[in-house]
Amino acid sequence: MPYKILDKKELAMNEVWYKVHAPHVAKKVEPGQFVIVRAFENGERIPLTPVEWDREEGWITLITFIRGKTTMRMANELKPGDEILNIAGPLGNPAPMKKYGRVLAIGMITGIVEVFPIAKAWQEFGNDVTTLHVSPNPMVILEEKFEKAVSRHIVEGFDLQPGWGMNEIAGELVKRAVAKVRELLESEHFDMVLTVGPAGAQKAVFNVVKEFGIPMHADLHPIMVDATGMCGACRVTIGGEVKFACIDGPGFDAYKVDWDELIHRIGFYAPMERLAMEHYMKALQGGEQ
Amino acid sequence: MAVKRKLIKERVPTPERPAEERVKDFGEVNLGYTFELAVKEAERCLQCPANYAPCIKGCPVHINIPGFIGKLVEYRDDPDRAVKEALNVIWACNSLPATTGRVCPQEDQCEMNCVMGKVGDKINIGKLERFVADYARERGIDEELLFEIVPKIEKKGQKVAIIGAGPAGLTAAGELAKLGYDVTIYEALHEAGGVLMYGIPEFRLPKSIVESEIDKLRKLGVRILTDHIVGKTVTIEELLEEYDAVFIGSGAGTPRLINAPGVNLNGIYTANEFLTRVNLMKAYLFPEYDTPVYVGKKVIVIGAGNTAMDAARSARRFGAEVTIAYRRGPEDVSARIEEVEHAKEEGIKFEFFINPVEFIGDENGKVKAVKFEKMKALEERDSRGKRKIVGTGEYVTIEADTVIIAIGKHPNRLIVNTPGLKVERGRIVVDENLMTSIPGVFAGGDAIRGEATVILAMGDGRKAAKAIHEYLTKKRENGNA
Ligand SMILES: Cc1cc2nc3c(=O)[nH]c(=O)nc-3n(C[C@H](O)[C@H](O)[C@H](O)COP(=O)(O)OP(=O)(O)OC[C@H]3O[C@@H](n4cnc5c(N)ncnc54)[C@H](O)[C@@H]3O)c2cc1C
Ligand SMILES: Cc1cc2nc3c(=O)[nH]c(=O)nc-3n(C[C@H](O)[C@H](O)[C@H](O)COP(=O)(O)OP(=O)(O)OC[C@H]3O[C@@H](n4cnc5c(N)ncnc54)[C@H](O)[C@@H]3O)c2cc1C
Ligand code: SF4
Ligand code: FES
């Protein structure tokens, strides 16, 4: 069933915002849940997170980081007034709503998108929430919204150096995240930590948090296909047991996650994803017939 | 009636594409009968009387088999008429003949008992059923008939919600729409069809056939809401506020995994994931289609049901060397005979009496081999009549860069967690009218049976539609009184 794009903006470098009419999701979605988007007839099903929504007006907003073929095609080909073929959801479990006390919610690069609804709801629920966005400076987003929604919002930005590829960015991201989290945990008391972002960076942050013994909740991003629990693509090992992130998660106790397995599984299709991207770029360069 | 016939012992064969050609693509393997060939095969049928015919008894939905076969012979001079009459007979019991003609295990059902088997080959009932449906679809005879038998649907003014667009849900929807109910199907995926769409491959059941069935439902006024996951997008409780009755046909979608070390290594798929990527997402057309699938050089498929055959034959079509590994012996293979034969023709190897105990990975977390324990069969039989098996303590390791686990599935978990819905061993519990523990909520197909068959799911859909009709008729009468 097609869903109309009401508005679209480029928020920052490679970060695209869509406002979409999807009343079935808007009516039900809770912080921590996600949707599956299939944007094109021959397209993939990809998980994305509703950032804001209006139950009455029936819209949700999505923010995508242009990462591979699907997110790039969406950015290039979809414009306001167009339709997204499928938006299924809401999927996954809502984040637990509890009074933790002082919370540190960390979003790395586009991970900050998923932190937003959860951090906002936790603050409204009576927690004292500090949010931390670790990101390359040109990709910093949602600053004003965070400043309104939580007690304190910190941006740990870094500049991109000429010639950097994904590996260098990931390296710098981990370095910055680890240092900043250590600094915060050494100087202040926190009762709960949340992370969303690339799995490698989540693992590095977890290793710091673990030293302080603070409870930690991690939203995981394994590869998903149906996201209704029928394929097992998203399986993760949690406390020695196999779980399906789409229906048992996506949030889990960070202390129980088998991080190395997750990192391996997420990277499995990288060569094919590159191929898909090259195929697309070639088609673009070939021009439209 | 009493026409003297001479016995024709051999089946009229249906043309098949040669193995070496078909393993290169996903086109259909069996090409089916032409009208002339179908009539020739139909003429072999002894026309056993309907109250005796063992084929009818063997059919889970009791299609009048000699009845439809007889029409092909009776109207042989007017093919369109012959097919229309035959289809009419089939439709009285089965609304998806193009599908069941292709995927039913006929050898265990109608064809098992055929009396012709005593003197020669049994009648090829499945292929005749398929022929009737295909010919009708290609000529638009099916739609013509549909709108003749439902000249004007008398609206009942009551609404029914159907959960899941597999054979159970589609059938229930069609029957209820014909009875004048306002029907809406809620389907989690982006396409309707259930296993027919995401599980069974194109080379066995072309997707255009499933699409045509769904198209007919739409023409009957059935509304299909894809992208709606009941239990998430909407709950059964909420559906009951809006609808007068609900039918659950959510299937058995949760794949069973093997509880062995290394099961989450890269390159290890459940059959559901592998087949969903290949069929629903069309990964065989990657990168024209965006969804990737990884098929290495050596593929092991674990299990020996229809799902295992479909996974193995799909992997073969990517050029891989494929081995099916089964913990029991050849006599316990549960897949349709035709599929096993096709798999063998296509060069798939079978290893029996081996049971996986460990998946061995390389330094990148990718599978490189599977360690199996050798098994042996005992004389003693289990509750399903299969010989019990025990480990021998001997092991064998087979190299593989892709492993597909096809050892069965459990009913869908999202539905089963509905408060007040009685469930046993993951299956929804129903009474003899297929009503669940929640009044007004009915269920059928794999959701109540665990993994079963298309025809049983379809039969349940029909039976439930009838029960819902009775339930709603009472509700209407009480409401009016
Ligand atoms: C619960 C959840 C919520 C998410 N929310 C957001 C969000 O709000 N905004 C956002 O930009 N991204 C989000 N993601 C990640 C997003 O799904 C990927 O960025 C997207 O699939 C990339 O697709 P692509 O074709 O552009 O890139 P590709 O080149 O196909 O893939 C690039 C990388 O994206 C990831 N990825 C690819 N396909 C999938 C898939 N089917 N499922 C999960 N991950 C995949 C893998 O890490 C892969 O290496 C979320 C992921 C999950 C699991
Ligand atoms: C690979 C494979 C090959 C097979 N081969 C054969 C064969 O040759 N012959 C044969 O007779 N049988 C075969 N079967 C079995 C047969 O397909 C099933 O028994 C049959 O499809 C069951 O029908 P169903 O309608 O109960 O469920 P399904 O076909 O499973 O359909 C259920 C539908 O419900 C949807 N759904 C689930 N949960 C929800 C929810 N919460 N909200 C909304 N929608 C939901 C699903 O997405 C799906 O579309 C095969 C099965 C597989 C997997
Ligand atoms: S049992 Fe065989 S011969 Fe008899 S009616 Fe059925 S198909 Fe014909
Ligand atoms: S994505 Fe298929 S089971 Fe989770």
Domain boundary among B123, B149, B175: B149
Tokens of B135: 């010919």
Residue B185: φ, ψ to 5°? -100, 130
Q: Please report which confidence band the pLDDT of residue B5 belongs to, taking 50, 70 and 90 as the band edges.
A: low
Distances (CA, A) of B179 to B89, B173, B465, B476: 19, 10, 9, 14
Report whether pLDDT(B3) > 90.
Answer: no
Dihedral over Cα of A98, A102, A107, A113: its sign: positive
Q: So what's the pLDDT on residue B480?
A: 53
Nearest to A106 by CA among A212, A195, A201, A208: A195
pLDDT digits (tens, 9 = 90+) for B279-336: 999 999 888 898 999 999 999 999 999 999 999 999 999 999 999 999 999 988 989 8
- Note whether B359 and B378 are same-domain residues: yes
Interface of B with A (CB under 8 A): 188-190, 225-229, 232-234, 253-255, 257, 263-264, 266-267, 269-270, 272-273, 276-277, 281-282, 285-292, 294, 364-366, 412-414
CB B387 within 8 A of CB B329: yes
Is B208 part of a structural domain of the chain?
yes
List the beta bridge partners of residue B376.
B390
Position A143, amino acid: E
Chain A, window 36-55: residues with a beta carbon less than 8 angstroms from a chain B beta carbon: 36, 38, 40, 42-45
Domain boundary among B407, B433, B455: B407
* CA–CA gap between residue B175 and residue B157 (Å, rounded): 16
The predicted model scores a pTM of: 0.92
Tokens of B158: 């009551």
- Note whether B414 and B369 are same-domain residues: no
Report whether pLDDT(A289) > 60.
Answer: no
Greatest Cα-to-Cα distance within chain B, rounded to the nearest angstrom: 74
CB A222 within 8 A of CB A265: yes
- Note whether B401 and B415 are same-domain residues: no
| Number of separate domains in chain B | 3
- Note whether B71 and B139 are same-domain residues: yes
Ligand 3 atom at minimum distance from B47 CA: 5
Is B2 part of a structural domain of the chain?
no
Give the count of beta carbons closer than 10 Å to the beta carbon of residue B282: 18
* CA–CA gap between residue A52 and residue A38 (Å, rounded): 20
What is the residue-averaged pLDDT of chain B?
Answer: 92
CB B166 within 8 A of CB B249: yes
Q: For chain A, what are the domain ranges?
A: 3-91, 102-267
- Note whether B82 and B220 are same-domain residues: no
Q: So what's the pLDDT on residue B383?
A: 83
Nearest to A44 by CA among A9, A84, A4: A84
Q: At B214, which CATH number?
A: 3.50.50.60
Q: Which letter does DSSP use for residue B280 in this model?
A: I
* CA–CA gap between residue B23 and residue B271 (Å, rounded): 19
* CA–CA gap between residue B313 and residue B343 (Å, rounded): 6
CB A29 within 8 A of CB A90: yes
Domain boundary among B149, B165, B196: B149
Mean pLDDT of B67-77: 95
Q: Is A41 exposed, middle or buried (0-12, 13-18, 19+ CB in 10 A)?
A: exposed
- Note whether B138 and B27 are same-domain residues: yes
Tokens of B405: 């686990």
Is B293 part of a structural domain of the chain?
yes
The dotted CATH code for A3-91 is: 2.40.30.10
- ipTM of predicted assembly, 2 dp: 0.92
Q: At B139, which CATH number?
A: 1.10.1060.10
- Note whether B183 and B95 are same-domain residues: no
The dotted CATH code for A102-267 is: 3.40.50.80
Domain range for residue B187? 154-253+410-480
Q: Please report which confidence band the pLDDT of residue B481 belongs to, taking 50, 70 and 90 as the band edges.
A: very low
Q: Which residues of B touch A242 (CB under 8 A)?
A: 257, 263-264
- % of chain B surpassing 70 pLDDT: 98
Mean pLDDT of A96-118: 96
Nearest residue of chain B to residue A242 (CA atoms) = B264
Contact A86 B190 (CB under 8 A): yes
pLDDT digits (tens, 9 = 90+) for B73-131: 999 999 999 999 999 999 988 889 999 999 999 989 999 999 999 999 999 999 999 99
Nearest to B175 by CA among B389, B363, B442, B449: B442
CB A153 within 8 A of CB A143: yes
Mutate to test the interface with A, among B229, B285, B295, B412 (most CBs of A within 10 A): B229
3-state secondary structure of A117: helix
- % of chain B surpassing 90 pLDDT: 77
Is B360 part of a structural domain of the chain?
yes
Q: So what's the pLDDT on residue B441?
A: 96
β-pair type (A86-91, A83-84): unpaired
Assign residue B209 a region: left if phi > 0, alpha if psi is -120 to 50, beta otherwise? alpha
- Note whether B449 and B398 are same-domain residues: no
